[in-house]
Structure 1
């Protein structure tokens, strides 16, 4: 969850972690608890990552990158689509016939988002910010992920201010639910 380094290093490490989880998913046969545990694992990682980006990365893109508003809005739309898929997966039984197509759609959405961030957004941010600013953003991202929710909340506001106010409370409730149910502990 917290990898260290500047914001770009931190988020790229998250991307690699999710890609490894998706590789495990592609190699998996069958369904059942093993699949549910893996879905829970990447849901936790994706939700924390998204909340942190919404709180700190996209506001920095809006502030420092030319055309940043348009870029941030596009990334937020990507997050919204992914969060809705995660919510569907959370409610779905692992033997449901729609599970496999939905997982495939999720992996495609996330892969496209990662490719866009790493090819476009990250290089532009790196050119627009000082190393100190990037390091500071990395620290903020790590703190935000530690307090972020672990479950999808597609109806939650995505504005940075609302997220900073509401996410820690939702995160606390999610982590309490996870503790009681054992979710994310495998």
Structure 2
């Protein structure tokens, strides 16, 4: 995921990509092994997206948006719940009944989160930041996704400065594991 443009366009494009992955998973029959591969791709995209938001978007929300601390805390809490679900999903095969149940729960949570960002958070951020700052944040988000972890790490810090220090190292380890196992390759 690296789409270009300001932070709002970048993250909205990510949201459409995530929606598309959910649609592809749902289109396949229960138990289809391809669902596991798509779930891995979805996990990778969601984790990178969340880490980038936690490193750059939410600190900007705290700084520029009225009541930004409360908004950022709510968003990070939602990320934590999604990450918990992704960690649980990681060990499930598509023929396990819990796979479909958890996937449905994950889709509801992620869709609600993305809808809230697009309808509430992004408009107030656009009003609070200059176009130049939004462009800069978009670039920061793209760079963060390049080094972000690709697997859920629910115990990892999700606020600066520790998240910015640890995420690239976790990301490197995850990418090595992905390369060795072929995870994320279609």
- How far apart, CA to CA, are the structure 2 residues paired with 1:37 and 1:31? 12
Deviation at 1:168, TM superposition (A): 0.3
The answer to whether the 8 A contact 2:83-2:153 is kept is: yes
Worse overlay, 14-23 or 30-39: 30-39
8 Å contact from structure 2 (residues 89, 99) kept in 1: yes
Query: What is the count of residue pairs matched by the alignment?
Result: 186
| Whole-angstrom distance in 2 between the partners of 1:185 and 1:103 | 20
Runs of 4+ with >2 A deviation:
none
Spell out the pairing of 1:163-174 with structure 2 (5 A cutoff).
163-174=163-174
Which deviations, in whole Å up to 9, do the C-alpha atoms of 1:158-184 show, x marking residues without a partner? Answer: 112111100000000000000000000
Structure 2: how far apart are the matches of 1:30 and 1:98?
11
Alpha-carbon RMSD across the aligned residues, in angstroms, is 0.7
For structure 2, the residue ranges without an aligned partner over 5 or more in a row are: none
TM-score by length of 1: 0.98
The equivalent of 1:160 in structure 2 is 160
Q: Distance in 1 between matches of 2:105 and 2:185?
A: 26
| TM-score of the superposed pair, with normalisation by structure 2 | 0.98
Unaligned 5+ runs, structure 1: none
Residues 1:150 and 2:150 aligned together: yes
- Residue 140 of structure 1 aligns with which residue? 140
C-alpha contact (below 8 Å) 1:56/1:160 kept by paired residues? no
